[in-house]
Amino acid sequence: MRYAWVEDVYETADDDRGGEVRKAHCRWCLCTNGRVTGQVRYFYWDDDTSWALRAWQAVIETAQLGSGVPLASPFHHWSMKTPD
Q: Rounded to whole angstroms, how far apart are CA atoms 3 and 31?
A: 4
3-class secondary-structure state, position 2 = strand
Residue 76 has a pLDDT of 82
- Single pTM value for the model: 0.73
Q: pLDDT (tens digit, 9 = 90+) per residue, 22-53?
A: 999 999 999 999 888 999 999 999 999 999 99
Cβ-based neighbour number of residue 56 at 10 Å: 19
Residue extents of the structural domains in the chain? 2-80
